[in-house]
């Protein structure tokens, strides 16, 4: 396990969010849930933290009130093998109130930002031919969800 664990602050939805993410990302599970003890500022027995794992990456979710909100300054990248995988993650993460953004970015229903990115994009963007990379960048800038076929078409135009 990595030494660094993302720690996510929620108002009251930590457990719900952890279960949602575990249902979206393969090879994921909830490890343990801690509850607020008597005398704490939160209701006794309510969920305080949830430790969970998404495909080998450990996370901790905290219920701590409405003091802080997620923003795009932090996002999680899902590197996808193909268009079917891009489509699947995009649909699941935008379901239930998520919002599409640009260039493969979205916010899930909890406000957490994700980048659903095909491996092919990275390969094309690092091509030694700067014109190919430029065409791919221009195509990507027009997209919300990344469409690999459209990237490949832009890449081949040069």
| For residues 95-101, average pLDDT | 98
Domain boundaries, the chain: 1-68, 70-158
Domain 1-68 has CATH 3.40.30.10: no
pLDDT over threshold 80, residue 1 = no
* Mean of the per-residue pLDDT values of the chain: 96
pLDDT over threshold 80, residue 2 = no
How much is the pTM? 0.94
Say which CATH class 70-158 falls into.
alpha beta
| For residues 70-98, average pLDDT | 97
Residues near 76 by Cβ (< 8 Å), separated by ≥ 6? 6, 112, 113, 114, 115
């Amino acid at each position: 396990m990595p030494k660094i664990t993302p720690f996510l602050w929620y108002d009251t939805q930590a457990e719900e969010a952890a279960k949602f993410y575990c249902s979206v990302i393969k090879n994921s599970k909830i490890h343990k849930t801690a509850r607020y003890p008597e005398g704490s500022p939160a209701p006794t027995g309510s969920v305080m933290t949830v430790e969970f794992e998404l495909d080998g990456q450990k996370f901790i979710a905290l219920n701590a009130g409405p003091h802080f909100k997620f923003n795009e300054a932090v996002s999680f990248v899902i590197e996808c093998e193909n268009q079917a995988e891009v489509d699947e993650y995009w649909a699941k993460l935008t379901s239930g109130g998520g919002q599409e953004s640009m260039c493969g970015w979205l916010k899930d229903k909890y406000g957490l930002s994700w980048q659903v990115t095909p491996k092919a994009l990275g390969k094309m963007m690092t091509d030694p031919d700067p014109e190919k990379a430029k065409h791919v960048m221009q195509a990507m800038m027009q997209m919300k969800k990344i469409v690999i076929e459209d990237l490949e078409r832009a890449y081949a135009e040069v």
